[in-house]
Structure 1
Amino acid sequence: MKHALRRLRTVAVALSAGTLGLSLLSVPAAEAYSVQPLAPHSERAPESEQFSAEGVTTVGELRTINGSLSYAQDGGTQIIRHPGASYVKVHFSSLRLAHGDYVTVSSPDGRESYRYDRYLNRATGADYTTDGQPGFWAMSVEGDTAVVTLRSTRASRSSAATIDRFWRGYDRAEIAQHNFTTQSVCSTDARRDVVCYQTSHPNEYARGRAVARLLISGGGLCTTWRVGNTNRMLTNKHCFSTQSAVSGSEMQFNYQCATCGGSNPGAGTKVSGATLYKVSSGGSNQLDYTLYSVNNFANIQTYGTLYLATTATTTGTRMYVPGHGDGSPKRLSIYEDTQNGANCTVRNANYNTWNISYSCDTSGGNSGSPVLNASHRVIALHHLGGCPSNQGAKAHLIYNEIASLIDNG
């Protein structure tokens, strides 16, 4: 993965009800959500710092903040906004907090909020990601605005925190602009929001709950999912394959629309990557898997899990694919072309040594999606697009390599 975040120039951002610096806005906490936020003075980081990985959908850009504030009292709020962004992910290069002090990174409506103190203990505070450099990344906040608030009992003018960078998510048009996509929607796109099938296909809907959106190192996008009864996750090797990338990534469960055809997904549940266990050998046209675990596993257990098929599938087997193509809220691909038409089926169960093929609709961002049969076992790990032969790595071959590392039920 060509993604190495170099040390960038840092800017001290003191969080408070203090003075206004450049176009960064500081307002009292009580007024934080009624004041129109200003866009922070920020610059796009150099191209060498932007996310870039072959076969992975780029969904955001890294920006640096240039400005500083000092704080004088508790209750200060710093607004970080990039108009039109789909998410904001803030980096603290340092926290200088006394015992009992903390900062929160929240959405403007407060529905999504992450709390951090000097100890950065995931058991007592919020989750976070790291990139091997000083400091940490707060969990991403949906939308174009992150509200960063300091809570302190100290009366001091010293700096409490340093914010030097943030990722901002692209909108739909920008995602299309920044990504080359192989034609993987075969004929008419028959994918629908998962909630559309809650009544007609309750089992497919339920199994899809174990599937999450994977935000890679702040700027890349794939799909990932729980496998087996323990804390294990699968995605593609070409999505990430190193411990540093696992530690720098978020897994977002329950990111799906509340109504069929709506545009109303909630933030869901976000956890960070923990431990890299195994990566497949060979290239991205072979088994192409990464097995890893997450932090705060208890937070995602209610979403269920999936199990690998341990024997080869057959041509003509009915199948379906849940996933986050294009970074969209979770969709299900059940039909080939039209609703209630022909079901998706395996076109060739032995396309080559490692893969099966199908023409069920996928797109960039579906990399890492599970391909399930009518018995709701995973028969393949989707990783290659190209109609009419989209491809998934054979799940029984993956099972043979990771059986000792998972509890497959």
Structure 2
Amino acid sequence: MRLLRTAALAALLVLACAPAAVAAPAGPGAMDTGAPTVDDTGFAGTAAGEERPTDLTLDAKQTRVVISHPGAPYVKVHFHALRLAPGDHVTVADPTGREVHTYSADPTLGAAGPADSSYTIHRTRGFGAMSVDGDTAVVTLHLASGGSFSGARIDRFWRGFTASEIAARSVGTNAVCGTEGRRDVVCYRTSHPTEFARAGAVARLLRNGSGFCTAWRVGRTNRALTNNHCVSTAAAVASMEMQFEYQCATCGGNNPGAGVKVSGAQLLRTSAALDYTLFSVNNFATVERFGTLLLDVRAAVSGERIYIPGHGDATAKRLSIFDAAQNGPYCTVANPSTGVNIAYNCDTSGGNSGSPVLAASSHRVIALHHLGSCPNNNQGVKINLIYPEISSLIDNTA
């Protein structure tokens, strides 16, 4: 599925501190002519959004633009060029200022400041700012120098699909079988404190601005795991961001915070056969506090209890602890060996790809979730098959 759209920009509003510049549909010369670095044709995760062209300039006369798509759950801005004098900087923020991403130089030129935000790479020129939650991104040029030599050009942005749009585009590789058994992770803070704590290491993954999966920290160092069918190349890693602590503050409250976002750094190892990708992230120190997960390197046992934290349907983080009704039967392993997979009775959905499947006996990961169907159970790749391929790259000590 190729998510690049060439249609004229709809619902783009441009406001400014100086007289407003009206954004017209992007003309032939407005787009970066460099080729995309990420191929979306084979992406098998959950469709998250679409890329939209635009042509906006910030300078001393026009220091603020607002990019909006009504109803979008996120907006992600791409800078074609960024030229800033010392002391100047650009911010990309939501209207309330809850999320603010700062750039003091073009990071692709190796000139970023130590306090600058993470960024993503999508084309042969320019960079993507980290996404902001909600349907509006405010881009502001802050001029300490007077602005004679500073400016920026925005050539595109990504807007997130609504929940109904995501459902309509879901590839259907993960399934809720029968009654929905998942709940917000915070619902289990008191009743299942260890399961709640382990879920902290799990993040929502936004790939190339337009695809959702789940990823999680593994081991004691800067390492994370997801599916190969979500991220399989170095270019895809450079295009992605992980959003930690994207979870509701109250049980059933539909009130997730923005969390903390970091970008992908280095592809370390990947396998299509075992459907995993191991990678590192930028600004690792900012997400270390969310904890990590260790691997349970053994064969699963039929009937043993498991649980799965993840971002099914690209929503705030939820936990699958019970098979269906709350306080009913727990999630269990239904079949410990279906080829390279184990099968289990535990609800997942599109966006859960890459979620950890944890053994309740050890609270360690026993499988990497990657597919499912009803009534044949959802399935994850056996960790004891993945571990030998990545053991030299991670620290799995207790």
Q: TM-score over 0.5 for the alignment? A: yes
Change (3 A) 1:362 1:331: same
1:402 aligns with 2:384: no
Instruction: Letter of the 2:49 partner, please give it.
Output: G
Corresponding letter in the other structure for 2:52:
R
Distance (whole Å) between structure 2 residues aligned to residue 385 and residue 349 of structure 1: 15
Quote the residue 2:163 is aligned against.
172
2:100: which partner in 1?
Answer: 113
Seq. identity, %: 55
Q: Distance in 2 between matches of 1:281 and 1:65?
A: 36
- Which amino acid is 1:360 matched to? C
Give the aligned partner of residue 233 of structure 1.
224
Q: How many residues align?
A: 380
Alignment equivalent of 2:353, drawn from 363, 367, 383: 367
Decide whether the 8 Å contact of 2:174 with 2:371 is kept in 1.
no
1:33 alignment counterpart: none
Aligned residue runs from structure 1 range 300-379, under 5 A: 300-352=287-339, 354-374=340-360, 375-379=362-366
> Which amino acid is 1:163 matched to?
I
SS of residue paired to 1:208: helix
Instruction: Name the CA distance, whole Å, in 2 between partners of 1:243 and 1:4.
Output: 19
**2:3–2:51: 8 Å Cα contact kept in structure 1?**
no
1:221 is displaced (CA, Å) by 0.4
Asked whether the 8 Å contact 1:167–1:219 carries over to 2, the reply is yes
What is the CA-CA distance between 1:400 and the residue it aligns to? 1.3
Shift in Å, 1:78: 1.1
Quote the Cα distance in structure 2 between the aligned partners of 1:278 and 1:69: 40
Distance in structure 2 (CA, Å) of the matches to 1:173 and 1:270: 25
Task: Give 1:158 shift.
Answer: 6.8
5 Å-filtered alignment, 1:4-403, equals 17-22=17-22, 24=23, 51-66=40-55, 71-72=60-61, 76-118=63-105, 120=107, 121=112, 123-155=114-146, 160-182=151-173, 184-282=175-273, 287-352=274-339, 354-374=340-360, 375-387=362-374, 388-403=376-391
Partner Cα separation in structure 2 for residue 256 and residue 69 of structure 1: 34
Partner SS state of residue 350, structure 1: strand
- Cα distance in 2, alignment partners of residues 256 and 6 from structure 1: 30
Q: Which residue of 1 aligns with 2:11?
A: none
Distance in 1, Cα, partners of 2:227 & 2:146 = 50
The separation in 1 between residues aligned to 2:26 and 2:47, in whole angstroms, is 20
2:208 partner amino acid: S
On the 8 A contact 1:84/1:144 being kept in 2, the answer is: yes
Amino acid at match of 2:240: S
Taking a change above 3 Å as real, the CA distance of residues 252 and 398 of structure 1, as seen in their structure-2 partners, is same
- Deviation for aligned residue 1:71: 3.3
- Is the 1:51–1:61 contact (alpha carbons within 8 Å) kept by the matching residues of 2? no
Cα distance in 2 between the residues matched to 1:145 and 1:119: 23
| Distance (whole Å) between structure 2 residues aligned to residue 318 and residue 42 of structure 1 | 54
SS at match of 1:206: helix
* 1:311–1:67 CA distance, 2 compared to 1 (3 A): closer
Deviations 1:178-198 (A, max 9, x none): 223246101101100000000
Q: Secondary structure at the match of 1:264?
A: coil
Q: Partners in 1 of 2:180 and 2:4 — Cα distance?
A: 36
- Name whichever of 53-62 and 398-407 sits farther off: 53-62
- SS of residue in 1 equivalent to 2:165: helix
Task: Give structure 1 regions of 4+ aligned residues with deviation exceeding 4 angstroms.
Answer: 2-9, 40-43, 48-52, 66-70, 154-159
Q: Is the 8 A contact 2:103 2:117 kept in 1?
A: yes
Letter in 1 for 2:186: V
Q: Which moved more, 1:113-122 or 1:162-171?
A: 113-122
Taking structure 2 as the reference length, the TM-score comes to 0.89
Cα distance in 1, alignment partners of residues 367 and 100 from structure 2? 36
The 2-side partners of 1:68 and 1:298 are apart by 33
Partner deviation per Cα, 1:236-277 (whole Å, 9 max, x = no partner) = 000011001001100000000000011100010100000100
How much has 1:389 moved relative to structure 2?
1.8
What do residues 203-244 of structure 1 show as CA deviations (whole Å, max 9, x unaligned)? 000000000000001000000000000100000000011001
- Unaligned stretches of 5+ in structure 2? 9-13
Aligned residue number for residue 30 of structure 1: none
- Gaps (5+ residues) in structure 1? 25-39
Shift of 1:41: 5.7
Q: Which moved more, 1:110-119 or 1:176-185?
A: 176-185
Moved more, 388-397 or 147-156: 147-156
| Alpha-carbon distance in structure 1 between the residues aligned to 2:56 and 2:123 | 24
Q: Decide whether aligned partners of structure 1 residues 8 and 169 sit closer, same or farther in structure 2, where only a CA change above 3 A counts.
A: closer
Deviation at 1:17, TM superposition (A): 2.8
Given that residues 247 and 273 in structure 1 are in contact (C-alpha distance below 8 angstroms), is that contact kept between their aligned partners in structure 2? yes
TM-score by length of 1: 0.87
The aligned counterpart of 1:34 is none
Whole-Å separation in 1 of the counterparts to 2:224 and 2:150: 39
Structure 1 counterpart SS, 2:140: strand
